[in-house]
Amino acid sequence: MNLAVQSHLSEYGSHPDVVVSAPGRIHLLGEHSWYFKDRTLSLAIDMPVYVLVSLRQDNNLRFYFHQLNERKRSSLPAMRFRKEDRWANAFKGVLSSFLAAGYETQGMNVTIYSDILPSAGFGINSAIKAAAAGALKELIAPKARNEDLVEYIDNANRFFLNSISYLADIYTALFAKKNTCIVTDYNRLSFEIIPFDFPETSLILTDARVPRVTVWNEETLWTAEYACLLGDLKVSRNGVVMYEDSDVEINEVLADVNEDYRRRLICIMKEQALLHDAVLALKSNNFSQFARDVVHSHELLRDLFQISCPEIDWLVKRVIESDMLSGKPLSACSRITGKGFGRSTYTVLQKESLNSYEKRLAEYERIFGFHAVFYEVQTADGLIYRQIG
């Protein structure tokens, strides 16, 4: 945090009035199911984004992203979405929500400090918004509750940024706790915090550096027709909404759906069953069961959802192949994460296997020609209000 404070001081010549951080995140399971009002399992990671703000004596807004060495500017009367402002739009969007709620402010100097850039994924854009909301709460809306911040970020996404509002991202950035993960229920608009505590393991994020090529547009799956079809296949079991598992029933309901989209809808359904099983595994501290669910999820995304690629599949297979060959319970797992079509995986493996994994990455570069970058991360708390000095 001290480096972030020094960055703000060097840029603006004064200390920040407030410093707030929010974590990056990964989705463990279910990130493609939100449109169908299903559940997503997410984990906050210690890739913090710092937002530092000091008030000005005028109506001007100044923005500085230290790692990008980029500066943007606006003013309160002229504040609007501008494509060229990129990362600064996240703060402006949240500020517009506070102003729409009736709060008032003067101009601001804003610094964003993050060692992981938004282009890498891992929820960095959502972390900027969450930290911005926390900073604005401290400065201009001290009576606002943290729960109110969900609404302000959601409004920023919908009305200022004109983008999809992923509640799983918002809940994780705001409310996560160390050694836990968050289950977001899009049907109930609620979340549950459950354990994720495997001290003998390491959590690895790997950027495979594969150029992302979109072979189909996921938004074409987000239609009222498909939502209604999946809604017809939902059943309640022990108070949990699940999908029908009868092939006869599924085939009847999806009989008229194009084969490609039928596979993808079945993937959504099957992964929700895996997510339910994974939550039970985490609650009972059963790592091998959780690992099986993660690996099966990757297979579904590869074969049915069709968003993986040979490079990603190779990385995933190398993590689990020794256990698979020996027939032992899985001691590690790996899966594509994010939008897919290349790029990133998350891996959970035994600490003593980390050196072996690094060697595999060197082999990966020799085979595919891409220099993968990996980060060993920890679980993290959500929004943190930092003390200055």
Same fold, 2-195+380-386 and 201-377: no
Nearest to residue 340, comparing CAs of 286, 369, 298? 298
Query: What does the pLDDT look like over 311-342, one tens digit per residue?
Result: 999 999 999 998 876 778 899 999 999 877 76
What is the 8-class DSSP label of residue 188?
A: T
With pLDDT > 90 as the criterion, what percentage of the chain qualifies? Answer: 86
Q: What is the CATH number of domain 2-195+380-386?
A: 3.30.230.10
Q: Backbone dihedral region of 285: left (phi > 0), alpha (psi from -120 to 50 degrees) or beta?
A: left
Give me the pLDDT at residue 129, please: 97
Give me the pLDDT at residue 214, please: 77
Q: Among the ranges 318-332, 341-355, 357-371, which has the highest mean pLDDT value?
A: 357-371
Segment 76-88 shows an average pLDDT of 96
With pLDDT > 70 as the criterion, what percentage of the chain qualifies? Answer: 99
Q: Which two tokens stand for residue 383?
A: 């929004």
Which residues are bridge partners to 20 per DSSP? 51, 385
Give me the pLDDT at residue 78, please: 94
Domain segments of the chain: what residues? 2-195+380-386, 201-377
Q: Please say if the pLDDT value at position 224 is more than 80.
A: yes
Give me the pLDDT at residue 389, please: 64
At the top level of CATH, the class of 201-377 is alpha beta
CB-count burial class (<10 Å; 0-12, 13-18, 19+) for 66:
buried
The residue assigned the tokens 């339910």 is 276
Q: Find the helix packing angle between 287-300 and 259-283, rounded to 10°.
A: 170
Give me the pLDDT at residue 215, please: 82
Segment 155-167 shows an average pLDDT of 95
Give me the pLDDT at residue 279, please: 97
Q: Give the DSSP per-residue string, 207-254.
A: E--PPP--SS-GGGG--HHHHHHHHHTEEEETTEEEE---HHHHHHHT
Contact 251, 289 (CB under 8 A): no
Give me the pLDDT at residue 111, please: 98
The residue assigned the tokens 């999809």 is 164
Q: Please say if the pLDDT value at position 237 is more than 90.
A: no
Give me the pLDDT at residue 195, please: 97
Q: Regarding beta strands 108-113 and 60-65, do their DSSP bridges make them parallel or antiparallel, or are they unpaired? A: parallel
Backbone φ and ψ for 97, nearest 5 degrees, come out as -70, -40
Give me the pLDDT at residue 325, please: 67
Segment 368-383 shows an average pLDDT of 95
Q: Could you give the 3-state DSSP secondary structure of residue 142?
A: coil
Q: Please say if the pLDDT value at position 267 is more than 90.
A: yes
The H or E element spanning position 92 is helix 88-100
Q: Could you give the 3-state DSSP secondary structure of residue 219?
A: helix
Rg of the chain's alpha carbons, rounded to an integer? 22
Average pLDDT, the chain: 94
Q: Please say if the pLDDT value at position 259 is more than 70.
A: yes
Give me the pLDDT at residue 349, please: 95
Establish whether 169 is a catalytic residue. yes
Count the alpha carbons within 13 Å of 346 in the hemisphere toward its beta carbon.
24
- Set 38, 154, 169, 207: catalytic member: 169
Query: What does the pLDDT look like over 272-311, one tens digit per residue?
Result: 999 999 999 999 999 999 999 999 999 999 999 999 999 9
**Residue 215: C-alpha distances to residues 220, 339, 340 (Å):** 12, 12, 10
Give me the pLDDT at residue 179, please: 97
Segment 114-131 shows an average pLDDT of 86
Q: Which two tokens stand for residue 379?
A: 């679980």
Distance CA 47, CA 15 (A): 23
Look at the alpha carbons of 73, 79, 83, 89 in this order and tell me if their dihedral is positive or negative: positive
Contact 29, 21 (CB under 8 A): no
